A and B are shown apart, each in its own frame.
Chain A
């Protein structure tokens, strides 16, 4: 069965600081991996995805993620966080059916 673990429930960073959100997955084959962002009361917006190829994936809003097969990880990074990045972030895995992690709430301090 596929599963996703996001170890950090809540992260607080200062504006301008770097960010890394962790995601570990369990999947029987080559995974399709996704990072989504959700603002309060809203749907999900896709930040980036990995299907194959280059293990460092660039996404929207300055985010990137690195797929590390040996560690079963797909961590999301951003070099400099903006106040507008405050939201809930979900990592997901799956080919056709998606399994989501429990999410990481990001708070950005001014």
Chain B
């Protein structure tokens, strides 16, 4: 149980285009999902917290207009990188917090590798 999927696993796009990444909890409902960014050989940095039915909360320094997050259902959150540039190339990982979890244990997706040319 507690499986989180991400789609696509890899995406290559041209500079200036927008890319949407999906994060799904497959066998549980998640009122909260988190989006992380990981640069090569570095740690995960929390970008934003996504709550179902409400606006996402962004961490300091993360541009909310560039990284659009939508959490329209209890099993799906999407991250859209708008007008992507080469510096947005990174590994994006989502995690989901099961609804009603008493221990705040997040379950992580496999990640999406974004390359902007």
Contact = CB atoms under 8 A, between A and B. Distances in A.
A100 B44 contact: yes
A45 B109 CA distance: 9
Given A101-B43, A102-B42, A96 B104 contact: yes
Contacts of A17: none
A36 B6 CA distance: 18
B108 A100 contact: no
For chain B, give the interface size range. Answer: 20 to 34
B46 A97 contact: yes
B43 A98 contact: no
Interface of A is mostly: loop
Interface in B19-54: 32, 34, 41-46, 49
Contact of B43 (A43, A95, A96, A100): A100
Contacts of B107: 46
A42 interface: yes
A43 B93 contact: yes
A43 B46 contact: no
B96 to A, nearest CB: 12
Contact of B105 (A41, A49, A100, A101): A49
Contact of B108 (A44, A49, A94, A95): A44
A96 B50 CA distance: 12
Contact of B111 (A41, A51, A105): A41
Contacts of B104: 32, 94-96
Contact of B110 (A43, A95, A98): A43
26 contacts: A32-B103, A34-B105, A36-B108, A41-B111, A41-B113, A42-B111, A43-B4, A43-B6, A43-B108, A43-B109, A43-B111, A44-B44, A44-B93, A44-B95, A46-B108, A49-B105, A94-B104, A95-B104, A97-B49, A98-B34, A99-B46, A100-B43, A100-B45, A101-B43, A102-B43, A103-B42
Given A36-B108, A96-B32, A100-B43, 13 more contacts: A43-B109, A43-B110, A44-B44, A46-B108, A49-B105, A51-B103, A90-B43, A98-B106, A100-B44, A100-B45, A102-B42, A102-B43, A105-B41
